[in-house]
Structure 1
Amino acid sequence: MSEQELRLVVASRGDGAEGVVVLELADPDGAALPAWTPGAHVDLVLTVGGDRGAGPGQELTRQYSLCGDPADRSRYRIGVLREPAGRGGSAHVHDHLREGDEVCVRGPRNHFELVPAPRYVFVAGGIGITPILPMVAAARAAGVPAELHYGGRSRRSMAFLEELEGHVLHPQDEVGLIDLDAVLGDLPDGTLVYCCGPEPLLAAVEERVAPEVLHLERFTPKDVGDPVRSDAFEVELSLSGRTLTVPPDRSIMAVLRDNGVEVLSSCEEGTCGTCETGVLEGEVDHRDSLLTPAEQAANDVMFVCVSRAACPRLVLEL
């Protein structure tokens, strides 16, 4: 799998909301950036720590949704929420990235595509508005009926409000939580529902919407329970003919690395889609937070950072 790696500069930086910084990234020579579609994200490869002679620092890769205009190839726009309980990636962006700084960017990639439909309902919570913004704009531009319900703790914490005139806002301190029963009840035939936000919101939407019409993007992995198999299994690599054994306590990704097989990776928790790998034979125990039930049933791709085998042997397109 090949993927573009870009060296971009921070062209502008601003406050998007309380605790949210908005960055625009551009090519230092003014070149056009790779095309993207609504729902796409990029990786920022950040070196955290190690300043002023403190060593090389720790490399962290973090995923951020593109929330600008796909027609504008001059810049990528992202919104970054400071996560006090995080591992330092968002704090580094907030505290250290300034206009003119260079940053390594990988992508874009999209596992949250806007599928054509006669009508949309978008539900966003907090920083989950970022992938939804260009989707709403695309639906409007196409003349497709679409309604957006955007919730947050308060207006101060809700980003991009100036771009959301005419949509329904749900600041919790003013109106309470989004009334999902009212928003998602009696959906007209053909309606697709797109949702991004914190896990309690996603879980509540999943309870109310049929899987075949629901599209979710998660920032953190969902709980998928215990693996189907508790014993070792084999992975055959179709391009080399090698067969590797994956023990119960190791991931496929880790075993591949141990054996010199490089697969692109980023989150390593089944939320970003970087390590997508083709499956030629065998049944997969899908443990990611990306594929829809229908995509899992197709059994033709898997994410080797978290997913495993539901059979004694898998044949992968590696």
Structure 2
Amino acid sequence: MTSAAPARPTTAAADHLAVVVRQLRWEADGVLSVEFCAADGGDLPPWRPGAHIELALPTGITRQYSLCGSPEDRSRYRIGVLRERVGRGGSEYVHMFLRPGQPLRLRGPRDNFGFDRARSYLFIAGGVGITPILPMVHQAEAWGVPWQLVYGGRRAASMAFRDELRPYGDRVQLYPEDAVGRIPLARWLDREQEGTDIYACGPEPLLTAVESAGAHWRPGALHLERFKARKKPAQQNSPVEVVCAQSDRTVTVPSDTSVLSALEGAGIPVAGSCREGVCGTCETRVLDGEPDHRDDILSEQDRATGDRMYVCVSRARGPRLVLDV
């Protein structure tokens, strides 16, 4: 998950929360929405459009899913899950085995997308990337701020939440690829719209194309969220000394080990989940030293600040880091 604008500080993730599956519903071919409520019947933690949760499945798998319900309704969370038969097993479990009344645990919400008020919005969604965009659309409408959504998918039948979007009329432009082709990004991004912020989520080819087509827009206008880490060239790593300020310990991180794994091996507790630099769970404050950022979350402005890093993938540009752990 990444943003090309200054990122809002992530919402602190709470310890795992006990929830119960409330409802499951087909939203499109291969896309199932799941609603959760708190096991104790109370309110769930607050969240903002763009936030995601980490769901812990009984198989031991943890996966991140964007919240796509209403932030105003704290009695329930809703996520949308695309079935990926050749994936890593999380979506397959959700589709095959989740049932109403089933207890689960989740952590979050966290907000790496950073949905902020603007004069107007252009939302771009591809496939299940509609999930974090949907509450942004509803929020922009509630604010009375002009907006437009362009939403692409392989087929109309595979594009989730179309019925929920139908009342917005021609402010929602659908691009089922088998009928009309891919989203014509040049048409939407060729001319910069003053005061408009772009929020986009979807598969990597779409996001790469959005970055390219929107490169001439003003700094900070483009906000992207990735579900998977981008492929990056192999890098030569050097050992790094990590001083743990809270724990009053120093850990040497070998060249073939991540900072997160080294800290875990030394018994220093640091939350971690995706281990790919996209979920934000392992965000750690940097007290001294220069991080070598390799995540897909921070903007260039945030990287230049150097006050935080994602220790599952990022390292150090020098021989030493001081972290707030």
Q: TM class by shorter-chain length?
A: over 0.9
Deviations 1:145-192 (A, max 9, x none): 111100000111000001112211111111100000011121222221
Deviations 1:11-56 (A, max 9, x none): 11110110011111012332111111000011110122xxxxxxxx
Match of 2:319 in 1: 312
Q: How does 1:15-34 map to 2 (within 5 A)?
A: 15-34=26-45
Alignment counterpart, residue 196 of structure 2, candidates 185, 191, 196: 191
Match of 1:222 in 2: 230
Match of 2:18 in 1: 7
Decide whether the 8 Å contact of 2:243 with 2:250 is kept in 1: yes
Residue 52 of structure 2 corresponds to residue 68 of structure 1: no
Match of 2:163 in 1: 162
Which consecutive aligned stretches of 4+ in structure 1 deviate over 6 angstroms post-superposition? none
Q: How does 1:1-318 map to 2 (within 5 A)?
A: 3-48=14-59, 59-165=60-166, 166=169, 167-210=172-215, 212-227=220-235, 230-318=237-325
Q: RMSD value over aligned CA atoms?
A: 1.3
Match of 1:51 in 2: none
Match of 1:54 in 2: none
Decide whether the 8 Å contact of 2:253 with 2:262 is kept in 1: yes
**Partners of 1:19 and 1:206 in 2: CA distance:** 28
Q: SS of the counterpart of 2:104?
A: strand
Decide whether the 8 Å contact of 2:237 with 2:256 is kept in 1: no
Q: SS of the counterpart of 1:159?
A: coil
**Partners of 2:13 and 2:36 in 1: CA distance:** 22
Q: TM-score, normalised by structure 2?
A: 0.92
Decide whether the 8 Å contact of 2:44 with 2:74 is kept in 1: yes
Decide whether the 8 Å contact of 2:247 with 2:268 is kept in 1: no
Q: SS of the counterpart of 2:39?
A: coil
Deviations 1:60-79 (A, max 9, x none): 10000000010001100011
1:4 shift after superposition: 3.4
Q: Which runs of 5+ in 1 are unaligned?
A: 49-58
Deviations 1:222-265 (A, max 9, x none): 123333x5321111111233221111100000100111001111
**1:193 maps to amino acid:** I
Q: SS of the counterpart of 2:135?
A: helix
**Partners of 1:232 and 1:95 in 2: CA distance:** 44
How many pairs align?
Answer: 307
Identity within the alignment, %:
52
**Partners of 1:152 and 1:2 in 2: CA distance:** 32
1:277 shift after superposition: 0.1
Q: TM-score, normalised by structure 1?
A: 0.94
**Partners of 1:21 and 1:271 in 2: CA distance:** 23
